[in-house]
Amino acid sequence: MSLVTTIHLHNVPEGKSQDYAGWFDGDHASQLTALRGFRSAQRFEVTEEQVMAGNPQPWRFMSLYDFDLPDPAIDLPALGPLIAVARDAGLIADDGTERIYSFDMFADWEGSANWRKDQPFSGVSIILGNYTPGRYDEYHHWYDKIHSIEVTNVPGHVAMKRGELSALQIEPRRYCPGDQLVLAAQQTDDLAFTIKDFIDRALGASPSGVAMEPRSSAASTARTVHYFRKISGKDAWPGGIAYAGDMSVYPGKA
């Protein structure tokens, strides 16, 4: 069996957000549960709070699909037609931003003592990153032994999992700026504090007194970072939760 995570980054046409949510939690959910190896699917919306303020945020929404597949070459392509239903129905903006990337995951979520396993994640951040050429092993050692521990111990950050861009991709294929995926999960009602303390720890200026190790030069600075808040609407499938937030607070509300 192979752990595979597919991220669908996209926008929704103005006035279609509720239609998209209804499709995702309705017909789409039912069809996904019939796929062999399907584990869960969640929807997220970009947050105003970001760790790299100048980093472009071209996508308002992200859907996260997790699989444990007997044979990815056989099973993963079946997701493509299910997403295409929304595209064909005009629920995905035809603005050139849509991206679908699949990653072979090294492991499942690994967390710190911060992780309340009886509670859902409030959101996730993603890094589409790269390692410095010739320093692949050093990059992974730094993440596994140092940085993943530092990140998941920041208040509000609770777990991390990582993967590598798969040779198997779903159409329509687009260039991916990073072949290394870092997913960090949050459980917090104050994301601004979590991000600030993360930055302060990286700079050695946190009131907690905790300072991170210097960032490894094995990790390329060619990376893109995005924080998203969970907005999944149902308990009808694995990992689904009801969302009771005020949609009006989000940027770009359709």
222-250 per-position pLDDT tens digit: 999 999 999 986 533 343 333 223 323 32
pLDDT value, residue 249: 30
pLDDT mean across residues, the chain: 91
191 within some domain = yes
14-31 per-position pLDDT tens digit: 999 999 999 999 999 999
238 within some domain = no
- Calpha distance 42→109 (Å, rounded): 15
9 within some domain = yes
245 within some domain = no
Percent of the chain with pLDDT over 90: 89
The domain in which residue 140 lies consists of 2-233
Q: What is the mean pLDDT of the segment spanning 48-72?
A: 95
The pLDDT of residue 160 is above 60: yes
- Calpha distance 120→252 (Å, rounded): 25
- Calpha distance 214→186 (Å, rounded): 23
134 within some domain = yes
Domain count, the chain: 1
253 within some domain = no
63-113 per-position pLDDT tens digit: 999 999 999 999 999 999 999 999 999 999 999 999 999 999 999 999 999
Residue for token digits 């940085």?
147
226 within some domain = yes
123 within some domain = yes
Measured on CA atoms in the order 178, 198, 185, 61, is the torsion positive or negative? negative
Q: In what helix (H) or strand (E) does residue 105 lie, and over which residues does it extend?
A: strand 99-105
- Calpha distance 161→152 (Å, rounded): 10
DSSP 138-183: HHHHHIIIIIHHHHHTSTTEEEEEEEEE-S--PSSP---S-SEEEE
> Whole-prediction pTM value?
0.90
Other residues' Cβ atoms within 10 Å of the Cβ of residue 251? 10
Q: Supply the CATH number for residue 6's domain.
A: 3.30.70.100
